Structure 1
């Protein structure tokens, strides 16, 4: 409303008085509250007691009283003893008002409540009425020193809570080298011990073992400092740590601990999900307390010295010596072959290399000694075939030679084909560079994260044989991949030497090089050698930090190698119609794409396996059609009409030999593909990348066997060198697969379960089973490549049967 002049004057006169009155009221109220608090504090009783070690104190605490226990003990610089606090709450319903224990030391304060509430997955709460904690022991500079510490006991509960307190010494607090020590731990009673590096030892391996798989535990390595993080909810804050079921092992280096000592901390987790255990039930309410039951676990700990620097040197020399010996052996074989080629006698009228060369099998000179070149080449006799000009260029004209061979089917210009196959090499070199650079950057990041966070669960090493070097945690697994690189380079040198010899023969217009044998193109060989080198590099990158997210680094170029080997075998019989580099690498990229999808989505996903199986069968059918029709077919709207027409004319009205073989082989391919698809659907293996790689290897082996069988059917026989390579490679592959299936670790399981498969080193105390797999598999791949070289470059064929398979192909076309 409106105020008159008198009202306004009244407010101006008494307004300051009202403000001061309200301010005085607030001050008086504050004094009253403070007085009440002080009066209540004066009523709370604080009792201090001089306490002793190894004596159990039974007492009751309420909100009105607080008890302080005073302890003192003598600390010696030459002897380290642990001090352990053990507390039990004997009253019921203490969860609502727990007791607070505060241990005050010279350089540290430890506080915990009893019952101790530990949280698990989904914030589930587990109360523990029995708690045991080890006190942090700061180092002393004096020879002997008396240290004091106090244990304060208090609560906010108005009801009395009965408890027991006991302080005891831990005589076996210090671990000794190569001496096993047994102890028991639980979630509310963690244990930790001290280890001091002895003179002359710079690296040790801390091993913790248990006969009990569960409960799940955590082993941690922490520096000597206070506080020590020894509970499930804080053990991962500092230091190195890893989960464990039955075994755990961490390699510790002196350079990482300035005090030349460290703590070995063992904590039992409140739940087992981190170790692959079953999930417990969900709490009905967020604040519900769950009985954890008995989760105590008996464990053994032993600290052993790691290998010395001499073992590192011996391991590297051993690795280099093995693969340099192949360089020496190759040089000696080259010298012997060069001498034999100079001294080899020639049969009059017979060329050293047959124009009907199928591949790697030696022609019987006796069977052709009496036959001259003019008799063997039916093309010399003009009456035997039509002299149309297009017979030398159009591959759809039926050849009318008496003896047909692969060279008759290769009508494209050699220079054009050579450039076509050189693209394989340049493309895979480009792919390798752009693939490897981000991979190297990523694995360096992985290793940095492991070193900074100390989380040993990120990488799936064989921790019992993981030898660090610098920032690398498992240098031996990286070094053992050197064989792929060195043998891949050696294979490139062998191919280069053959390429140079062939080019020089062409330059001097050598008749054998110009007219005899199948066309020689080395681009795919160069690509195979480069792929082997890249496999070594990427396998080394994978083993920097092996886990399921980067497993495709290790397998991508394995798919490349399998695909290139199949293409090379196909090229030997079909040099004109082989797939281009762009098509081949696009298909291999699709395979790698499915591999990544399988790793991410394939585990237990039936929809993915159904889709993959259907695509697998369709791709197998399309590839079979492409191979048998040799590219002379189209996939368009009229494909169904042409299929019905071919079935009617070639299968119903008359069934020719090639059609019968086509039907039989397609039936075999489909059955084989269906069996693999059925296995995938029924088993749904977790390791999809290895499953896909097994399919690629099986296809390669089947095609390789088919190639050998067809050579034998054509009357060829195995050369001595080719036979030695085949037998040697088969034996090495057998031993390699034996070591591969040892399974020292597996990222298909949890890190704790994977460590159950860890084993000690078996060679020079430096290499484990998987390193031996790297050695042998690199040698076996190199041997397989040599077999492929021998099959195409060094042999002749019996002229009487050389054209059988080619006639069949021409007839089918």
Structure 2
């Protein structure tokens, strides 16, 4: 008996030594001891389906081996399933390779928004391939799949391991496949020779389910699940389209993985939670989240295209400089040829001197509106009778002027006297006004007043641009570091990176605003210098004839156009919801400055001050920000905005109609205020309702108010999502309306439009129409989710480098430049017409 016990102890001791010293051999024999848990090991084959049962006392190990050949990528996919309805005891799968371990459980549970759970009982994962090693001989590799569970009962499972045949993507060849949240896919791509940029284009016929496309370096493990796909590489969310531009320099080994993950929910892409249906008989979950995808990788543009695009931009806008030089040279030759008539004769203009005839409005005694008034105004003396058919040499009746060193805060020395208020009331409330009536203030004081616009906008530009640049640099850094391309709303199908910039083409296309803004400043400077020389020489025509020349607002418009290019470029570094105002702020200011300049042309003494104008612009920008934040569904915001819009239009109309002479004595505590309003309504609306005292102004203001009220009603009813563009549309429509009114009244006053402004008007109309066509192409939209925005992405249409929005930048810069030239040259025909013969309208 003792001998038998000794033999048994020896056998047990020998078995223990075998397990401790040679575990691999014991595993291959199918004999192992892990506590009290029996383990069954099986030599398995690729492509064969294995089924089995496991519990807390049983563990199955499958061993796969293959030969890895030099320069060959071997990729394998593991498919497992378990249809147990008990989520507390999942089946655990552990895959061990030479340099990595991959594990998951079945059912695989995804956590969604609001802690929702989505279990998947079929899981398929691609194993990370072995790193490509330059080996001379093939090597044998092993894959072990461990299957276990902590359930006290048997749990069934299925296992299938296959070799992937189409693991490598090829340039220019579309590849179709299917993925689900529990069955992600990824593939390998290698850069071809002499290709430095490639674009990964992914399309799907269905918007949902939402998916994520990721580009990751050749490193194991590969992050291919919803909860970890954002841990590494570059990624985008996707509905129907996705496009990622990849540079070789970001992947030194010249290859990368393209990973496709299906989201368990659609909130990221703007959708909702999926509907799960449980089959109680088969204990399965049918979440119906299968997405068919097609991926194509194509080479992007070469470095030579970048050079050609940059040269094209400079050539296009340098042509404007060349054209300006040619026009200036032609004008200089014409002046030189006519220099024999005198140093500065009427014929130095662009044609025959035409004396403008004022349009008389009705008076209380009654006279026809639109009839030509042959009498002169109170400020002038003899008129230009005969319509300019036989013009006589102009005879100046100079008014005494007092030039002082008064500060800019004073309108003039005369304005400090109490009598000036009654004088203004007498002059500005006449039935018909001439420019001489509204240019009575000291020229130097008025010039300083308008130069405040220039200095203020330079100050605003500096303090506005510096934090903007800092912010967009931070945005671009975050995008480059995190790889999250959902931060910026580009047209990814035509986004060409350069250095750290993700879309260099969108930035380059803003060069036109800067170059044309600077060119306009040079043109204004030339005119300003010429006018100053004439004033220094006491030239009568410069002092008493034509529209008073004040260039402060023109300089301001040129700076605004330049800054629009700078800030638009900053916005396009990373366009998104948070920085939209960078692109629109100076557009509001440009539209407002153009209206102010157009009004100032014939109302130089009563135009708005710079402080009031910029304060108004600040209010507009503030409302634009509130509209974007609260305007989508907030009824209260739209009600308040509509009230502000309508009341603002009425207040501005009152100021324009009465030339700033409608005053309400706020110090009066009795009912005098209301009596004043009632009196005005009675006299101006009821007594003269059939024929207003200032008919031309009334026509403009009625049409203008109808347009603005239409905008207000449209916004109140439809709540447009793009509030920034809605506000810009209000400004542009008002500007076009006022410009059209000005041109019509100019023609009705027998004034002429010379060839240069006529050419600029036609060019402005044509270019603006073309620009707006490209603007409304809507290649992206930060009002939607990044994935929905990418559905609007288009391919490049110009030189394979510029898209429709870039062409909008080109055309809008040219259109604004010609618009400024229209305002600069529109009244050149009046340079030899006395100011007391130029009507105000």
* Residue 47 in structure 1 maps to residue 47 in structure 2: no
* Residue 133 in structure 1 maps to residue 168 in structure 2: no
Kept after mapping to 1: 8 A contact 2:234/2:483: yes
Q: Secondary structure at the match of 2:208?
A: coil
| Deviation per residue, 1:193-229 (Å, 9 max, x gap) | 0011122111111111111111111000001111111
> After the TM superposition, which residues 595-674 of structure 1 pair with which residues of structure 2 at under 5 Å, given as runs?
595-637=624-666, 638-654=672-688, 657-659=692-694, 665-674=700-709
* Residue 723 in structure 1 maps to residue 715 in structure 2: no
Kept after mapping to 1: 8 A contact 2:447/2:552: yes
Q: Which moved more, 1:399-408 or 1:131-140?
A: 399-408
* Residue 787 in structure 1 maps to residue 822 in structure 2: yes
> After the TM superposition, which residues 112-511 of structure 1 pair with which residues of structure 2 at under 5 Å, given as runs?
112-141=104-133, 142-143=135-136, 144-279=138-273, 291=285, 293-344=287-338, 351-352=346-347, 367-368=387-388, 370-373=390-393, 394-398=423-427, 405-511=434-540
Kept after mapping to 2: 8 A contact 1:118/1:126: yes
Q: Secondary structure at the match of 2:301?
A: coil
Kept after mapping to 1: 8 A contact 2:188/2:257: yes
Whole-angstrom distance in 1 between the partners of 2:60 and 2:224: 26
- 1:7 aligns with none
| Deviation per residue, 1:313-355 (Å, 9 max, x gap) | 0000001100001001100010001111222489999844769
Whole-angstrom distance in 2 between the partners of 1:402 and 1:687: 43
Deviation at 1:404, TM superposition (A): 6.5
| Deviation per residue, 1:118-154 (Å, 9 max, x gap) | 1111111111111000001131422432211210100
Whole-angstrom distance in 2 between the partners of 1:239 and 1:403: 72
Q: Secondary structure at the match of 1:710?
A: helix
Q: Secondary structure at the match of 1:681?
A: helix
Deviation at 1:635, TM superposition (A): 4.1
Q: Secondary structure at the match of 2:826?
A: helix
- 2:58 aligns with 65
Whole-angstrom distance in 1 between the partners of 2:115 and 2:330: 74
2:582 aligns with one of 549, 553, 560: 553
* Residue 737 in structure 1 maps to residue 772 in structure 2: yes
Kept after mapping to 2: 8 A contact 1:357/1:516: no
Q: Secondary structure at the match of 2:762?
A: helix
- 1:773 aligns with 808
- 1:678 aligns with 713
Deviation at 1:644, TM superposition (A): 1.0
Q: Secondary structure at the match of 1:148?
A: strand
- 2:408 aligns with none
| Deviation per residue, 1:3-42 (Å, 9 max, x gap) | xxxxxxxxxxxxxxxxxxxxxxxxxxxxxxxxxxxx9954
Deviation at 1:299, TM superposition (A): 0.6
Whole-angstrom distance in 1 between the partners of 2:835 and 2:516: 39
Deviation at 1:81, TM superposition (A): 2.7
Whole-angstrom distance in 1 between the partners of 2:702 and 2:327: 44
Aligned-residue Cα RMSD (Å) equals 3.0
Q: Which moved more, 1:398-407 or 1:747-756?
A: 398-407
Whole-angstrom distance in 1 between the partners of 2:576 and 2:284: 34
Kept after mapping to 2: 8 A contact 1:102/1:112: yes
- 2:608 aligns with 579
Pick closer, same or farther for the CA change 1:59–1:206 going to 2, 3 Å.
same
Kept after mapping to 2: 8 A contact 1:714/1:802: no
Deviation at 1:794, TM superposition (A): 5.2
- 1:81 aligns with 74
- 1:11 aligns with none
Q: Secondary structure at the match of 1:757?
A: coil
Pick closer, same or farther for the CA change 1:618–1:400 going to 2, 3 Å.
closer
Kept after mapping to 1: 8 A contact 2:356/2:750: no
Q: Which moved more, 1:255-264 or 1:233-242?
A: 255-264
Pick closer, same or farther for the CA change 1:401–1:659 going to 2, 3 Å.
closer
Q: Secondary structure at the match of 2:486?
A: coil
Kept after mapping to 1: 8 A contact 2:700/2:741: no
Structure 2 length as normaliser, TM-score?
0.85
* Residue 709 in structure 1 maps to residue 744 in structure 2: yes
* Residue 107 in structure 1 maps to residue 71 in structure 2: no
Deviation at 1:715, TM superposition (A): 1.0
1:746 aligns with one of 753, 771, 781: 781
Q: Secondary structure at the match of 1:464?
A: helix
| Deviation per residue, 1:48-101 (Å, 9 max, x gap) | 1111100100111111110111111122332213100000114x3242210000
2:594 aligns with one of 548, 556, 565: 565
Pick closer, same or farther for the CA change 1:399–1:447 going to 2, 3 Å.
closer
Q: Secondary structure at the match of 2:693?
A: helix
Deviation at 1:291, TM superposition (A): 4.5
Whole-angstrom distance in 1 between the partners of 2:600 and 2:74: 75
Q: Which moved more, 1:363-372 or 1:530-539?
A: 363-372
Whole-angstrom distance in 2 between the partners of 1:322 and 1:358: 42
Whole-angstrom distance in 2 between the partners of 1:152 and 1:620: 77
Whole-angstrom distance in 2 between the partners of 1:798 and 1:375: 11
Q: Which moved more, 1:525-534 or 1:207-216?
A: 207-216
Q: Which runs of 5+ in 2 are unaligned?
A: 1-31, 278-282, 359-382, 401-416, 667-671
Kept after mapping to 1: 8 A contact 2:197/2:300: yes
Q: Which runs of 5+ in 1 are unaligned?
A: 1-38, 284-288, 381-388
Deviation at 1:799, TM superposition (A): 8.2
Q: Which moved more, 1:520-529 or 1:403-412?
A: 403-412
Pick closer, same or farther for the CA change 1:374–1:718 going to 2, 3 Å.
closer
- 1:29 aligns with none
Whole-angstrom distance in 1 between the partners of 2:757 and 2:706: 32
